[in-house]
Structure 1
Amino acid sequence: MKTLEEYQAGQTLLIDKPLNWTSFQAVNKVKWALKSTFKVKKLKVGHAGTLDPLATGLLVICVGKNTKKISQFQGQVKEYTGTITVGGTTASYDLESEINETFPTVHITDEMIQEATKQFLGEIDQVPPIFSALKKDGKRLYELARAGEEVEVPSRKITINEFEITRIALPEIDFRVVCSKGTYIRSLAHDFGKALSSGAHLSTLRRTKIGDFDVKDGISPEAFGDSLRVSSEN
């Protein structure tokens, strides 16, 4: 087991965030496990890039002096896999909110789906979802959305390096995306539905890579805590 001094000097942990956990909860679980194992009151712990509660996958957690690398890690290219469900939209662009409008899908062909991916490749303008943690006038957008306020969200430049369709079983379309910092896969799903002359929402999402970090090398927050406890008892 690594020593407290090694963690303080700087460590980077790869955590596989479970479904329905917030990134904050995952960081807190890791932080609590470290502090209780080493019996310290203070230890710097932070994550490099938030994941929505309904998303799973790679959360890069920095400990000690490695917290200074957070912005560096956040800026790296990310890879996601997931499922877009066509035929219905939601206000949050995912399953956090209920279907608010339905659309026809009978006209959608495999060829149309493959062709539609091309318009999203490269640098594009993307409007983030209203249900996001971005701030406007000092308030989180999701707070304004839940209060029923109308908010105009400005578009931003993002880059999509790869957009691969891995399975088509309508209404479900599985994908793999490699993209820049600031990309909202929920917005991509919403916009992809429009490109198919229909509507769509994101039904599953998993972050698989951040730069050279791979979720295959990650462990759950609970498994990390268990490993510390077992090591400290031996």
Structure 2
Amino acid sequence: MDGFINVLKPPGMSSHDVVGRLRRILQTKKIGHAGTLDPGAAGVLPVAVGRATRLIEYLEATDKSYRAEVLFGLRTDTDDDTGNILETRTFTMPAEEMIESALEAFRGTIRQRPPICSAIKVDGTRAYTHAREGSRIELPLREIVIHRLTLLERRADALLLDVTCSKGTYIRSLCRDLGEALGTPATMGFLLRTRVGDFSVDTAYTLEELETVGSDAILAPELYLTHLVRYDLPTHRLQAFYNGLSTTVKGTESLHGPLAVYSEGVFVGIGICDGETCELKAKKVYRMIAHGNGKSDVFERE
């Protein structure tokens, strides 16, 4: 049982709760998730099983898509509708043209301040812990990218948006900041994550379905690593890759970051290519295939 499962997290459960449920369903402890969803949110939660847990970090860097409800005239201490109400205000929804003008300012590369109630660490302590203790902290701005921001529906006191964004984006902060741009408090209502990289809500399993499907829902990890550049390693360098030795790869001066490494059409692991020296080394060996002396094993090289 090694690979990824596309799970549809229900509202009301933490991401950790989902992992606990799957450990019972699959009868294994080696399970982890990528891209935490708040308990009140629903949607795609990629889960790794077995050896695939060592590949989670390569999922977390992918773009994500959401459907979000923005509630106007309301401010909370968590920037969503689960928090304590700090302010209410009478609000008249502006014309669609004004809303579109406000949305345009959030498209592309922007700087965003994460919500106080977040898991970001400040002086070694989670920000939400500081908030619960009443400490006044201001998290630094961070650069994010909003690839797509579409208005789906305009209501008397709320908007429905589709958002595609980079890693590190907080939809709660986007809702809060949109309210400020329109001159009123705003907070996030319902949130559905519709995509994480190649994981789509259309093919996600509910926990009830997984009770029946079980391990048949586990798919090969390479199916969800298509955002990484693929490199096909020559067969005669496969053992060197396993042993952590470098392979000179001509014509890769522009390659940086992790590569999905294949040999004879089989995914064998993650490699790091140094564009200056044209050398490829193993970062994580996921699978060893029979070669040369016929040895077959699985290990991880950090």
Verify same fold: TM over 0.5.
yes
What does 1:9-158 align with in structure 2 at a 5 Å threshold? 10-35=2-27, 43-106=29-92, 108-158=94-144
Q: CA deviation at 1:227?
A: 2.8
Q: Whole-Å Cα distance in 2 between the matches of residues 229 and 101 of structure 1?
A: 48
Q: Secondary structure at the match of 1:120?
A: coil
Q: Secondary structure at the match of 1:149?
A: coil
- Runs of at least 4 residues off by over 4 Å: none
Q: Does 1:178 align with 2:164?
A: yes
Stretch of structure 1 that moved more, 109-118 or 199-208? 109-118
| Equivalent position to 1:189, from 172, 175, 178 | 175
Q: Is the 8 A contact 2:107 2:145 kept in 1?
A: yes
Q: CA deviation at 1:95?
A: 1.3
Q: Secondary structure at the match of 2:105?
A: helix
Stretch of structure 1 that moved more, 80-89 or 183-192? 80-89
* Cα displacement string for residues 4-43 of structure 1 (whole angstroms, at most 9, x for unaligned residues): xxx1xx21100000011000000111112111xxxxxx54
* Cα displacement string for residues 38-81 of structure 1 (whole angstroms, at most 9, x for unaligned residues): xxxx5411111000011000000011111122111110010000
Q: Whole-Å Cα distance in 2 between the matches of residues 79 and 22 of structure 1?
A: 19
Q: CA deviation at 1:107?
A: 6.1
Amino acid at match of 2:104: K
Q: CA deviation at 1:221?
A: 2.1
Identify, as 1 or 2, the structure richer in helix: 1
Q: CA deviation at 1:229?
A: 9.7
Stretch of structure 1 that moved more, 25-34 or 99-108? 99-108
Q: Secondary structure at the match of 2:101?
A: helix
Q: Whole-Å Cα distance in 2 between the matches of residues 194 and 104 of structure 1?
A: 14
Distance verdict in 2 for CA 1:116–1:229, change over 3 Å: closer
Q: Is the 8 A contact 1:86 1:170 kept in 2?
A: no
Q: Is the 8 A contact 1:29 1:222 kept in 2?
A: no
Q: Is the 8 A contact 1:79 1:209 kept in 2?
A: yes
Q: Whole-Å Cα distance in 1 between the matches of residues 93 and 150 of structure 2?
A: 21
How many residues in Structure 1 have an aligned counterpart in Structure 2? 217
Distance verdict in 2 for CA 1:32–1:105, change over 3 Å: same
Amino acid at match of 1:24: H
Q: TM-score, normalised by structure 1?
A: 0.88
Q: CA deviation at 1:170?
A: 2.0
Q: Is the 8 A contact 2:93 2:157 kept in 1?
A: no
Distance verdict in 2 for CA 1:14–1:229, change over 3 Å: closer
* Cα displacement string for residues 169-201 of structure 1 (whole angstroms, at most 9, x for unaligned residues): 120100000000000000000000001011100
Amino acid at match of 1:170: A
**Structure 2 gaps, min length 5:** 217-302
Q: Secondary structure at the match of 1:207?
A: strand
Q: TM-score, normalised by structure 2?
A: 0.69
Q: Quick one: higher RCO (CA 8 Å, sep 6+), 1 or 2?
A: 1
* Cα displacement string for residues 129-155 of structure 1 (whole angstroms, at most 9, x for unaligned residues): 001111111211111111111112111
